[in-house]
Each structure stands twice: as structure tokens, then as C-alpha cells.
């Protein structure tokens, strides 16, 4: 049977904590990749640590958001890490997305649509007139136009984007219960896969507290 795929969000500046997360989330039931975001990548030893990781699926969640030249230069600057996945905000614009796709090589370039910490009210606050679904669909169409390899959105939108975006869809905002932290568009792991997510991104629900127990809880939840 095909294994469910998850990226564990390794959000810490502490190398020991990161090592613990990696060790204690390894298991035979799930396919696990590791996502390193701005926190760890910008920490003193983060980049060096990632450069030495072998035989893991690595996702650098850089969330590049800049002018085309800077976006391209950033991708070139991280080339030596040979990461499997790398994120860019679709809001960087079509020119930036196309230019980055030209230089990303074997690294899969993921377009970030609208952060899962935002809802319709937050979009209004920052000046958008579209609602979440409309905006995510619009952004996913741009990702398709730029031939990106994957997108990030919430699992609430997977159904609508999969109608035309046929590559990988990666979904954060995963919660077992209603404890949201800073996330707004949350969903359970089981429902996220049901909706068609290819990969889930899970951070705090796995990495806070007893990691091994949390992983077992996820496995049990998926098998229920």
C-alpha cells in the first residue's frame, strides 16, 4: 500500500531539538520528509546542518518573495544544498516564477498560494478583494502558467485547485483538534488526504510534547 506522505516542520533554532525531531519521527508507516523554514535556516548552525543531511527528503521553506533577479540569485545561492523542494511566494509575480523555474534544476519549485494563517477577514485587511478560494485558484493558475512543480495551499482548497493543477499539492494547517495556534484554515490529517493532498506539512502537533507518541497518534488517526 502507498504510504501517506508528510513533511515534518523542523521549526527551532536548537540543533539538538532538530536532531530529536528527525530521530523520533522516523517510522516505517509513513513517508517522512523534513521541512526547514526561515527560523532554522537563519540560525547559526542551520545551513551547515542541512548540508550534511543524507538520504532524506529535504524541503527548504525559504518562501522567497522578491524581485525576479533577487529570487533567481537566492536559488543559485542555495544550490549547494541540493534540496528536493523549495518555496517561492506566487505573489512574487509571473516573471519571477518563470525565471526561477529556469534555474531551479532538479529542485522542485513550490509556489506558495495564500498562507494558512490567513482567512477572508485577513485578506480584506491587507487589501485583497478576492476571497480565499478565489485567490488560491487565481494563484494556482499562475503556478501552472509558470510550470511550477507543486503548490502550497490549505487542504480546504485542494479539491478546487486539483481540477486544473495536476502536480503535487502540499498542505499545512493540519490539526487533530480545534487547537489552532496561529493557523486559521485548519483541517485534520485524515480529511486533508481525503481532499486529495499529496503531502501534509505538520509541525507543532508532532514536535511539541512527546514526539514518538504524537507520531503514533497520527498513524492511529489515519488508520481509524
Closest Cα to residue 62, out of 98, 26, 107, 95?
107
Residues between 17 and 56 with contacts to ligand C5P, criterion CB under 6 A:
37
Binding span for ligand C5P by CB under 6 A among 12-20, 66-74, 169-177, 189-197: 169-177
**Please, what is the minimum distance in Å from the beta carbon of residue 135 to ligand C5P?**
12
Q: Is the dihedral of CA 17, 19, 25, 30 positive or negative?
A: positive
**Please, what is the minimum distance in Å from the beta carbon of residue 172 to ligand C5P?**
4
Distance CA(124)–CA(143), nearest Å, equals 23
**Please, what is the minimum distance in Å from the beta carbon of residue 145 to ligand C5P?**
20
What residue has cell string 503535487? Answer: 168
Q: Which of 183, 195, 197, 214 binds ligand C5P (CB under 6 A)?
A: 183
Q: Yes or no: say if 145 and 94 are a contact pair by the CB < 8 Å rule.
A: yes
Residues between 64 and 83 with contacts to ligand C5P, criterion CB under 6 A:
none
Q: Does the protein bind ligand C5P through residue 8 (CB under 6 A)?
A: no
Helix (H, G, I), strand (E, B) or coil at 51: helix
Q: Where are the alpha helices (DSSP H) in 128-181?
A: 132-145, 158-162
Given 5, 63, 98, 141, the catalytic residue: 63
Which residues make up the interface to ligand C5P (CB under 6 A)? 9, 11, 37, 61, 112, 115-116, 152, 172-174, 181, 183, 201-205
Q: Annotated catalytic sites, by residue? A: 63
Amino acid at each position: 500500500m502507498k504510504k501517506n506522505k508528510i513533511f515534518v516542520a523542523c521549526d527551532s533554532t536548537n540543533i539538538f531539538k532538530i536532531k530529536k525531531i528527525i530521530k523520533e519521527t522516523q517510522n516505517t508507516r509513513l513517508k517522512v520528509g523534513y521541512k526547514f523554514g526561515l527560523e532554522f535556516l537563519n540560525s547559526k548552525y542551520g545551513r551547515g546542518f542541512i548540508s550534511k543531511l543524507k538520504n532524506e527528503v529535504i524541503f527548504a521553506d525559504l518562501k522567497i518573495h522578491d524581485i525576479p533577479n533577487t529570487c533567481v540569485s537566492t536559488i543559485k545561492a542555495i544550490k549547494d544544498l541540493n534540496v528536493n523542494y523549495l518555496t517561492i511566494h506566487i505573489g512574487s509575480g509571473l516573471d519571477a516564477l518563470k525565471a526561477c523555474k529556469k534555474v531551479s534544476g532538479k529542485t522542485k519549485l513550490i509556489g506558495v498560494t495564500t498562507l494558512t494563517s490567513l482567512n477572508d477577514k485577513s485578506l480584506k485587511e491587507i487589501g485583497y478583494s478576492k476571497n480565499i478560494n478565489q485567490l488560491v485558484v487565481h494563484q494556482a493558475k499562475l503556478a501552472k502558467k509558470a510550470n511550477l512543480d507543486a503548490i502550497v495551499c490549505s487542504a480546504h482548497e485542494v479539491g478546487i485547485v486539483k481540477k486544473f493543477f495536476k502536480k503535487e499539492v502540499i498542505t499545512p494547517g493540519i490539526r487533530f483538534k480545534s487547537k489552532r495556534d496561529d493557523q486559521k484554515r485548519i483541517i485534520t490529517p485524515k480529511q486533508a488526504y481525503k481532499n486529495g493532498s499529496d503531502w501534509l506539512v505538520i509541525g507543532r502537533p508532532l514536535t511539541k510534547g512527546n514526539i514518538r507518541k504524537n507520531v503514533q497518534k497520527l498513524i492511529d488517526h489515519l488508520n481509524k
